[in-house]
Homo-oligomer: A and B are copies of this chain.
């Protein structure tokens, strides 16, 4: 069934008033009519099964039939921190990372970054990124919309390490094997840090290690910068029993 995130100001008791892009999606793309059902998600862990009651111009009125807990949120919160890759690769990471179960995204701009973003451009980009994530969260039955945090520089990244139980720093030049880095889990919160194309320098790896990150090897195959976070997310969620089954 089609899913939409609604925000608390959109509902009143058992009635949900839908506005904006979702109206277009419901009435034009999905061609919904009164009587059709949708699932609305409050973004805080509850799914609301609802029936379409009325379409009034650019608004749709729904009535809630049933409330159930969302099943789509993993118990482990994984933040994907990544040196911003070029072009549409970052958008792929956002979309696929959301499907797989990332809790949030932290874009990093270092001195060596190819991508440049000033304040206004950064805000506009972030708006676009958040839209991609919202659509992926709806499609994949997530219970919340993972936030994209504001872009940080290298120092900002180091400071963010402290809020996670473990920081896994993808380092192709050597590190502990991934399964060893996860052996003392399950963790409540993890951060994965993925470098730009060409990987991190040995100085960056050393700084990250000093700041509390664990350099980790993903094996002998060299993954592209947009592939590494998706592989890491898959393995972490798998090892935490979030890809079907119990924790390993």
Contact = CB atoms under 8 A, between A and B. Distances in A.
A177 interface: yes
A186 to B, nearest CB: 13
26 contacts: A72-B221, A99-B221, A101-B221, A140-B221, A140-B223, A140-B224, A141-B220, A141-B221, A178-B238, A178-B243, A178-B245, A179-B238, A179-B244, A179-B245, A218-B244, A219-B237, A219-B244, A227-B230, A230-B231, A231-B243, A234-B235, A234-B238, A235-B235, A235-B243, A238-B238, A238-B239
Nearest to A239: B238
Contacts of A178: 238, 243-245
A171 to B, nearest CB: 10
A96 interface: yes
Nearest to A71: B220
A10 interface: no
A194 interface: no
A72, A92, A100, A139 — which one has the most chain B CB atoms within 10 A of its CB? A100
A242 interface: yes
A140 to B, nearest CB: 5
B179 A224 contact: no
B244 A217 contact: yes
B72 A220 contact: yes
A142 interface: yes
A29 interface: no
A222 B140 contact: yes
Interface string A197-239: 0000000000000000000111111111001001100110111
A246 interface: yes
Interface string A153-177: 0000000000000000000000111
B96 A227 contact: yes
Contacts of A177: 243-246
A117 interface: no
A180 interface: yes
Contacts of A238: 178-179, 234-235, 238-239
Contacts of A179: 238, 241, 243-246, 248
Contacts of A142: 221
Contacts of A231: 100, 230, 234, 243
